[in-house]
Structure 1
């Protein structure tokens, strides 16, 4: 016998303009940075060369921007908000790298609902978020707006 549990994620209908979602936190490690360099093939010296980095403003290797974004996506997934209700990431606008993330920095994702738009299909809708990746010291590391496609709540 198969039991299909109801999704624990939020449906399009559940989101409200101005609603904020704050994730738990995760510390970026040197292992994360090295593993991402290996995975992506991006061995740029600002990420991998301690001696070179001594000549930069950061003074040490920094995390890749897409690595920080990916960790934030994982933190969002862990909230359960998207579980069984998210259909697609549609668009990212204005992705800004505002502050470097180094190993030992702890980040969390703050998302605020900016807009909701029903789709013409009726069974889904687009939610636009302001997404900010915030470091443990309160500094914003990255900021963007992102549009996601969510299922609508099934009619009873």
Structure 2
């Protein structure tokens, strides 16, 4: 078997030092489909009629099945990853506060996430730092679907990469 010299790929994400308070980020967009909603019901076991029963939903203000709140949250997390911000630099989700469902997301709605850096602080460990964001999931018409304050643990820039971005 041939040996190869494999090096660790460089992170394309933002390090703790790269975040500035007040900086804003916009994720790519993704359309939520009925398949997403049904697959999430199957995955989570949440078959509440508001997500799965078209006839029942005709009797509600929604008129049709709506996406699960955690589904929208999960897709938004994936969109943030797709933006590259977290790629190779995110260590952990530490906290989610004031998670609010503001408007329903239905089949055909396209969402993206807007994030604003609220604060950052160093930790007692020199290789990591904490960044807190105000996050809003926005639909194609500009309506906010969800909002929350989320705190993450990020890698600090390695000493050997201090002069590169």
Please state which band the TM-score falls in when normalised by the shorter chain.
over 0.9
Which of 35, 40, 43 is matched with 2:39 structurally? 35
Q: Output one character per residue of 1:86-105: Cα deviation in whole Å (capped at 9) or x when no partner.
A: 00000000000000000000
Residue 24 (str. 1) matches residue 17 (str. 2): no
Q: What are structure 2's unaligned runs of at least 5 residues? A: 161-165
Rg: which structure is higher?
A: 2
- Divergent runs of 4+, >4 A: none
C-alpha RMSD of the superposition: 0.6
Count of aligned pairs between the two proteins: 156
Q: Return the TM-score normalized by structure 2.
A: 0.93
Residue 85 (str. 1) matches residue 94 (str. 2): no
Find the aligned partners of 2:9 and 2:68 in 1 and give their Cα distance. Answer: 37
Find the aligned partners of 2:110 and 2:10 in 1 and give their Cα distance. Answer: 33
Task: Please name the residue that 1:59 is paired with.
Answer: 63
- Alignment of structure 1 residues 77-116 onto 2, 5 Å: 77-116=81-120
Q: Cα distance, 1:122 vs. partner? A: 1.8
Find the aligned partners of 2:31 and 2:148 in 1 and give their Cα distance. Answer: 21
Q: Return the TM-score normalized by structure 1.
A: 0.98
